[in-house]
Amino acid sequence: MITVQIGYPQQTITLSLDIGSSDVWVNLQCSTSGWASFCGSYPQYDPTKSASFVPLSQALNLKYGIGAVTGAYATDNFVMGSGQTIKKLQFGGASASTRMFAGIMSVSWGLGLGTGYHNIIDQLALRGLTKARAFAIDLGNVDTASGSIIFGGLDTKKYYGSLIKNPIIPFYQSPDGYPRYWINMTYFGVTFPGELPLNFTPLVYAKPVIVDSGSTLSYLPPSLVNAMLPYFPGWVSKGGGLYTIPCSFKNVPGTMDFGFADKIIRI
């Protein structure tokens, strides 16, 4: 979740940060949102109280993996971080949503790919607030209550090891033909304490996967999951391709290993 200010005078709202889609949208009516009680627990944007709000004659129709949003587009001033302001940012005002618990600030592809207009990632670069259409996300971990996002660069104190460039798969070569952050996963395995890494992928392997901050789960091909499960006795199928393993594994100092090009990330 990310806190931003919108309108004049500024109204503070909280949005879900998503790198798997391209539009910014806000809930205008909690009663018609996908989760009314959750929506109502946060401050909401009221366009009638903003002198800089401008409605657009363009319908909003967005579909996600498990939800949808309808409404209309508009423009208003948008403020993030330490006061960086994007004036007249185009965003969606949701009049109704299905299975969506909050508004979304999306930072995926913009004009010409993800949207028909300059989205927030475009605007930051066009207005000179960043030098590139780039960002870095610190998700934190189970022991921290917050993370961070940096636009136009990265914080070298937030990681260790070296970085690599990993090509993004063009949308016309991706599995769903949609412009997302598709990259190839080249390795998957696990490492138990005092043992050699277990590799569940062939020597030559490239599986397109989506990097998406909007999901807390890793979705893997059935062949990899089936190869991994025997090493986690007590696993239970919850249906729909979801599995749980005993909580005792949380205290085992091993890792799950994800490979991208020649870099393996051990979690």
116-145 per-residue burial string, b: 16 or more CB within 10 A, e: under 16: ebbbbbbbbbeeeebeebebbbbeeeeeee
Start-end of H helices in the chain: 36-40, 120-126, 222-228
Catalytic residue among 18, 23, 76, 257: 18
Residue 18 annotated as catalytic: yes
Distance from C-alpha of 219 to C-alpha of 208, rounded to nearest angstrom: 11
Catalytic residue among 46, 143, 176, 212: 212
Q: What is the residue-wise DSSP string for 155-177?
A: -GGG--S-----PPPPGGGSSS-
Residue 176 annotated as catalytic: no
Query: Using omega within 30 degrees of 0 as the cis cutoff, is the peptide bond preceding 9 cis?
Result: yes
> So which residues are the catalytic ones?
18, 212
